[in-house]
């Protein structure tokens, strides 16, 4: 029995089962998948969509043939969901805390958000949380990954991204299927981002588009700059929330720091020639800051490891797999010191 159908069956007897909407939403995504080649060849497919899908198909082949990423059914199909986002996530935090509200489930464990495949359900929960005194944020998500468990398709919700972002996402998510350590987001994201960077560089070179690498790197730089600004604001807010100030004073200080953060983000975006801050446009609150953490702290270590591997991805993957086997403290120590030779073979050999 397919996994999503099994979950639907198990949830049916439970009133208000959260898994029911999640399983039915995932089933909708799977049901609407069509092979990319068939979508391209259909007479009712627009030239614009056909061109984007052809690009993705070429990048998918490149990911296997050149980057050595998994050769499976992920991103070999296309699903048109007839909506702007695949899922809507709800984040919540107390008024004077940056600790996310947790939701715990028998199978998935505890997570710091709830995702809904219908916007109305996300908004309904957000209203309840606001009534309970939480800071709340609801955001649409254009794509998510099941790490290959359900052969993720390319979605219509991803089509508003530019070509480089689409290709980068493809390489990034496939890298997660090579090495993934449960509970170690920093390791996972740093490794996948390193593979993404290497892949995009190689992809553009193969298409004589090296000049576009500057555009990709500028986008990465802006992202890191914005996250650094937000990280500093989070630290300041943490100090405010831990202080002995009265509720009224704490509320005023919080409001001012969030206003300053909004101004800082606007200035940085303007410096890069960008407009509104998207997720951070409008009034900020604790919940909006929850999903923005610098998770790529080990990226320099993976870049260095790739260099020591003499730019051989097979070596990078093998060394990452060895690191993944370590205990968290050992892994962190190895990445911090850059001394990776004692795990597996020597890189100098």
pLDDT at 222 over 50: yes
pLDDT (tens digit per residue) in 150-184:
899 999 999 999 999 999 999 999 999 999 998 89
Residue 268 resides in a domain: no
Residue 310 resides in a domain: no
Residue 107: band (very low, low, confident or very high) from pLDDT cuts 50, 70, 90: low
CA distances from 161 to 50, 52, 156, 164 (A): 15, 10, 10, 8
Instruction: Indicate the range of 14-18, 159-163, 289-293 predicted with least confidence.
Output: 14-18
Residue 168 resides in a domain: no
Average pLDDT on 323-341 reads 85
pTM for the full predicted model? 0.84
The two beta strands, 87-93 and 103-105, are unpaired
Residue 251 resides in a domain: no
Per the prediction, the chain carries an average pLDDT of 89
Residue 283 resides in a domain: no
* Total structural domains within the chain: 1
Residue 303 resides in a domain: no
Average pLDDT on 267-296 reads 83
125 and 90 Cβ atoms separated by less than 8 Å: yes
77 and 34 Cβ atoms separated by less than 8 Å: yes
Q: How much of the chain, in percent, has pLDDT values that exceed 90?
A: 74
pLDDT of residue 348: 43
pLDDT at 108 over 80: no
Residue 142 resides in a domain: yes
Residue 236 resides in a domain: no
Average pLDDT on 208-221 reads 92
pLDDT at 344 over 50: no
Which residue range(s) make up the domain with 16? 3-161
Average pLDDT on 22-48 reads 95
């Amino acid at each position: 029995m397919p996994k999503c159908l099994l979950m639907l069956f198990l949830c049916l007897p439970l009133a208000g089962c959260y898994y029911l909407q999640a399983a039915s939403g995932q089933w909708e995504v799977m049901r609407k998948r069509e092979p990319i080649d068939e979508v391209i060849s259909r007479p009712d497919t627009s030239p614009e969509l056909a061109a984007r899908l052809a690009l993705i198909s070429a990048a998918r082949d490149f990911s296997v043939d050149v980057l050595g990423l998994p050769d499976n059914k992920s991103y070999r199909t296309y699903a048109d969901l007839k909506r702007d986002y695949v899922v809507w996530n709800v984040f919540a935090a107390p008024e004077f805390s940056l600790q996310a509200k947790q939701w715990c489930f028998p199978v998935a464990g505890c997570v710091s958000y709830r995702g809904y495949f219908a916007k109305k359900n996300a908004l309904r929960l957000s209203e309840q949380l606001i009534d309970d005194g939480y800071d709340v944020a609801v955001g649409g998500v254009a794509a998510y990954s099941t790490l290959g468990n359900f052969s993720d398709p390319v979605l219509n919700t991803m089509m508003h991204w530019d070509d480089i972002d689409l290709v980068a996402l493809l390489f990034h998510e496939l890298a997660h299927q090579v090495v993934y350590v449960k509970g170690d987001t920093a390791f996972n994201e740093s490794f996948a981002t390193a593979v993404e960077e290497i892949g995009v560089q190689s992809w553009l070179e193969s298409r004589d588009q090296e000049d576009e690498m500057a555009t990709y790197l500028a986008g990465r730089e802006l992202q890191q700059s914005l996250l650094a600004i937000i990280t500093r604001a989070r630290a300041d807010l943490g100090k405010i929330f831990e202080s002995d100030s009265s509720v009224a004073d704490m509320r005023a200080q919080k409001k001012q720091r969030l206003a300053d953060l909004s101004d800082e983000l606007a200035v940085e975006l303007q410096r890069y020639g960008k407009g509104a801050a998207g997720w951070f446009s409008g009034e900020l609150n604790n919940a909006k800051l929850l999903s923005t953490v610098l998770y790529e702290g080990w990226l320099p270590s993976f870049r260095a490891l790739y260099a020591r591997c003499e730019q051989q991805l097979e070596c990078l993957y093998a060394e990452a797999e060895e690191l993944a086997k370590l205990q968290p403290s050992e892994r962190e120590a190895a990445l911090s010191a850059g001394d990776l030779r004692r795990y597996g073979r020597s890189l100098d050999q």
